Amino acid sequence: IPKLTTWPILFFAVVLSIIVCTNFVRSTQGRACIAINDDEIAAEAMGINTTKYKVMAFIIGAILASLAGSLFANYFYVLNPNQFTFNKSIDILVMVVFGGMGSMSASVIAAIAIGILNMWLQQFTDLRMIIYGAALVLMMIFRPQGILGSWELSIERFLKKRKLKKEEA
């Protein structure tokens, strides 16, 4: 497989994926998916076509997964089933638990933090799983909603605070 994936292409794909996901969640269809996630029977009783929105969410997920898979395949020269081990599944699970379900910002922060932690603990494979286990237990006890809960990082909020500080000074 030719190596076509570069860091700028990867960065653009990540930003595009985050924009697509954020816009989908804020759209009417995204709100319907959230309603289905909260209570499928109540959503169907309110007139939401649950099958339609489940298929729509599945299609968006499949498109993003195919983008990630093609970037992954074009970064490494050879794809091998041994690359996709149980530990890779644990990495993804830990990212989801740390990020939580309510915040896109927290998911990005958790993915970056777990990626850096993976690089740092690469030489200690057994220790890494122990640290993951302890971190998951602590996270479930003290912060089950994720690192930021449902709070989102916002440029607008940052600019408003900055403007208020300038007005006070």
Q: What rounded mean pLDDT belongs to the chain?
A: 86
**Listed residues 53, 80, 107: the one ending a domain:** 80
Residue 104 and residue 73 share a domain: no
Determine what percent of the chain is predicted with pLDDT higher than 90: 31
Residue 6 and residue 26 share a domain: yes
**Listed residues 80, 96, 113: the one ending a domain:** 80
> pLDDT band for position 145 (50/70/90)?
confident
Residue 167 and residue 102 share a domain: yes
Determine what percent of the chain is predicted with pLDDT higher than 70: 99
> pLDDT band for position 101 (50/70/90)?
confident
Cβ pair 110, 146 in contact under 8 A: yes
What's the pTM value of the predicted model, to 2 decimals?
0.76
Is residue 168 over pLDDT 80? no
Burial class (CB in 10 A: 0-12, 13-18, 19+), 53: buried
Residue 107 and residue 56 share a domain: no
Please write the tens of the pLDDT for every residue from 46-83.
Answer: 999 999 999 999 999 999 999 999 999 888 878 888 88
Q: Which two tokens stand for residue 135?
A: 């971190």
Residue 120 and residue 56 share a domain: no
**Listed residues 43, 64, 80: the one ending a domain:** 80
Residue 148 and residue 103 share a domain: yes
Q: What is the pLDDT of residue 169?
A: 64
Cβ pair 64, 20 in contact under 8 A: yes
Cβ pair 87, 129 in contact under 8 A: yes
Q: Which domain holds residue 163?
A: 85-169
Residue 90 and residue 76 share a domain: no
Is residue 143 over pLDDT 70? yes
